[in-house]
Amino acid sequence: MAILEILKYPDPRLKQESVEVETFDDELQRFLDDLEETMGDGPGAVGIAAPQVGRFERIAIVDVSSKPKLLNHGRMFLINPEIVEWDGLAVGREGCLSVPDYTGNVVRAERIKLRYRDRDGNEIEIETEGYEARAVQHEMDHLDGMLFVDRVVSRRHDLFRRKHYKQPGER
């Protein structure tokens, strides 16, 4: 096992799109162990994606079981993950191992149905919501070369937007 180096923004490699995993071999297992150890080394991280350590394959780990009050599916090794359904929007604050010393509010789907392969290549489908769903979406963004800083919103304008409805007779 080894702790891998985490790429830090503005490293242009973080913007790279990752490719699907084709083979579930021993080398993949060793990488997953290293990725897991690297996540554990980060300060309070509940997820990590392979591109954050410079491997551009669609692989992520999410584990929010450190928040026992919240819905969680334990430690999930997400390989070739896909969101097949989503519902609702929620705002939450996010930070990232690749963007130290910054947090920001991001809008994510509240509930998702997720399809992925586990570390042995078995197809899994789960439904999750809230904090865990947020973590999954944050990690999946990395696989598409997207960082949460690209999605940060201002409460003033995005969450409680002042709408002007036309009054009767108004043109």
Partner 1 sequence: MQHWYMLTLVGHDQPGIVARVTDALFKAGANLGEASMMRLGGEFTIMLRARYDEGVDGLREHLAPVANAMGLHLHVDVCDGEPQGQAEPNVRISVSGADRPGIVSEVTGALAEAGFNILELESDVAGSDASPIYLIHIEGEARQGEEALEAALAPLREKGIDVSMQAIDIMVG
- Bridge partner list, 29: none
According to the binding rule CB under 8 A, does residue 168 interact with partner 1?
no
> Which residues fall within 8 angstroms of residue 122, CB to CB, at 6 or more apart?
none
Q: How far is the CB of 71 from partner 1 (least distance, A)?
A: 13
Task: Give the span between the Cα atoms of 133 and 131, in whole angstroms.
Answer: 5
Known active-site residue 127: no
Q: How far apart are CA 117 and CA 162, in angstroms?
A: 43
Token pair 């949460």: residue: 148
Would you tell me how many other CB atoms lie within 10 Å of the CB of residue 160?
8
- Interface with partner 1 in residues 3-32 (CB under 8 A): none
Report the nearest approach of partner 1 to the CB of residue 85 (Å): 21
Q: Look at residue 51 and give its three-state secondary structure.
A: helix
Q: Residue 93, interface with partner 1 (CB under 8 A)?
A: yes
Tell whether residue 96 is a contact of partner 1 (CB under 8 A): yes
In the range 28-87, which residues lie near partner 1 by CB under 8 A?
Answer: 42-49, 62, 67
Q: Whose structure tokens read 């690209």?
A: 150
Q: Which of 107, 120, 109, 5 is nearest to 51 (CA)?
A: 5
Min dist CB 26 to partner 1, Å, is: 27
Closer by beta carbon to partner 1, 77 or else 131: 131
Nearer to partner 1, 26 or 101 (CB): 101
The token pair at 59 is 């692989």
Q: How many residues does the structure list for the chain?
A: 171
**Which of 48, 112 has the CB closer to partner 1?**
48
Stretch that binds partner 1, among 8-16, 77-85, 118-126, 156-164 (CB under 8 A): 156-164
Positions that interact with partner 1 (CB under 8 A)? 42-49, 62, 67, 92-97, 101, 103, 131, 134-135, 138-139, 155-156, 159-160, 162
For the annotated catalytic residues, the residue numbers are 139
